[in-house]
Copies of this chain bind each other. A is one copy, B any other.
Amino acid sequence: MFNKLRLLTPGPTPIPEDVRLALARDMIHHRKADFKRVMERIQPGLQHLFGTREQVLPLSCSGTGAMYAAVTNLFAPGEKVVVVEGGKFGERWREIAQAHGLRVVSLVQEPGEAVTAAAVGEALAMHADARAVLVQASETSMGVLHPVRELGALTNGSNTLLVVDGISAVGISPCPMDQWHIDCLLTGSQKGLMLPPGLALLSLSARAWDKVRDVKPANFYFNLLAERDKNLEHQTLFTSPVNLLQGLAAGLDLFRTQGLESVYRKQWALTKMTRAGVRSLGLDLLAKTHFTWGLTSIKLGPGIDGGAILKTAADSYGVVMAGGQGDLKKSVIRVGHMGHVDWSDVLAGLHALKMGLTQAGGYSAARSYLEDALRAYEEALEGGYPGVEA
């Protein structure tokens, strides 16, 4: 009652009321006609969101499950892949690939840095036998946006697939699969899709499906070819996560009503707003140039404990944000602003951040951090977001 809970983490994200009401609906059976109607209804919305004419497959798993499904279906042990390691989730691509017996060429990035298309091009030139580039559209651990469109221009027409983890990008910033020549795009439910965790979505290009057929994966659970056949019957291979799919249908209705362009415009404006507020507080941004549109990562000065800031923000202001990951746990704060988050939520986040910072001994004489942030928001809304066209 005193402070409302405001969830500004980079997933799970707050859930809109229409989606929560759909999630609360009673069970229907996943092999019956009324469920098939739900599945039929969500497919066009998912294709629009993914920017693809291919099927988008719902999988009952976390985002990591979909990453695992991609790797194990697309590649045979012994094959070589290039992995962009820009943080914890790039690392995860590597770990999954290695666990599957792939040979990995790893392109490790400095914290906050995006890979360059030139570096990937060089790696591919050195490793002509690399069958794919595995990359995050948005590296959630750093708040970095990798140049997926440029990577697609590199791999398109070659023997190399472009496999993209879109977990904090799909529904947040443009990542049109067909237009950008992405061969595998996947996401989880708890980010831009504004759902609880537990559902992943994955789509493959025609040439990626050819590759899967070559590989003949032995997977029993993550069997994408069988999943695809079942999807044509508006079902899932095994028991479906029924209420998440009912919630997804409601969420896709919101995307349709709002318009994807309008969502991107909001996400861009919230990002510019957060960055302006953080700068006005005298703090450093971790990702300088290539930044995610759904979260902002902040690099704290020496001697400032991020954990203490998060505690004050949550306990005294009701705002829950995230720390860094791995080595950056205490020295980085990540403010999520994706999905069902608006300007006022970000305002709360900035003030909680400022008060946490003050308590942690890091107060800078910032005065107009909220007004500065709001001005940046208005300007970005007005100006629109950077185009998706090459």
Q: What separation, in Å, do the CA atoms of A269 and B255 have in the docked complex?
A: 38
- A1 adjacent to B258 (CB under 8 Å): yes
Q: Is A340 an interface residue (CB 8 A)?
A: yes
Q: Which residue of B lies closest to A318 (CB)?
A: B342
- A1 adjacent to B340 (CB under 8 Å): yes
Q: A266 to chain B: which residues have CB within 8 Å?
A: 1-2
Q: What separation, in Å, do the CA atoms of A317 and B378 have in the docked complex?
A: 11
Q: What separation, in Å, do the CA atoms of A345 and B348 have in the docked complex?
A: 9
Q: How far is the CB of A16 from chain B (nearest CB, A)?
A: 7
B-facing residues in A1-29 (Cβ within 8 Å): 1-4, 6, 16, 24
Q: Which residue of B lies closest to A269 (CB)?
A: B2
- B351 adjacent to A348 (CB under 8 Å): no
- B347 adjacent to A344 (CB under 8 Å): yes
Q: A348 to chain B: which residues have CB within 8 Å?
A: 344, 347
Known: A367-B368, A370-B370. A263 touches B1 (CB 8 A): yes
Q: What separation, in Å, do the CA atoms of A233 and B68 have in the docked complex?
A: 62
Q: A6 to chain B: which residues have CB within 8 Å?
A: 344
Q: Which residue of B lies closest to A344 (CB)?
A: B348
Q: How far is the CB of A276 from chain B (nearest CB, A)?
A: 14
Q: Is A33 an interface residue (CB 8 A)?
A: no
Q: Is A232 an interface residue (CB 8 A)?
A: no
Q: What separation, in Å, do the CA atoms of A368 and B255 have in the docked complex?
A: 35
- A347 adjacent to B342 (CB under 8 Å): no
> Which one of B254, B258, B347 contacts A347 once the chains associate, using CB atoms below 8 Å?
B347
Q: Is A268 an interface residue (CB 8 A)?
A: no
B-facing residues in A298-348 (Cβ within 8 Å): 317-319, 340, 342-345, 347-348
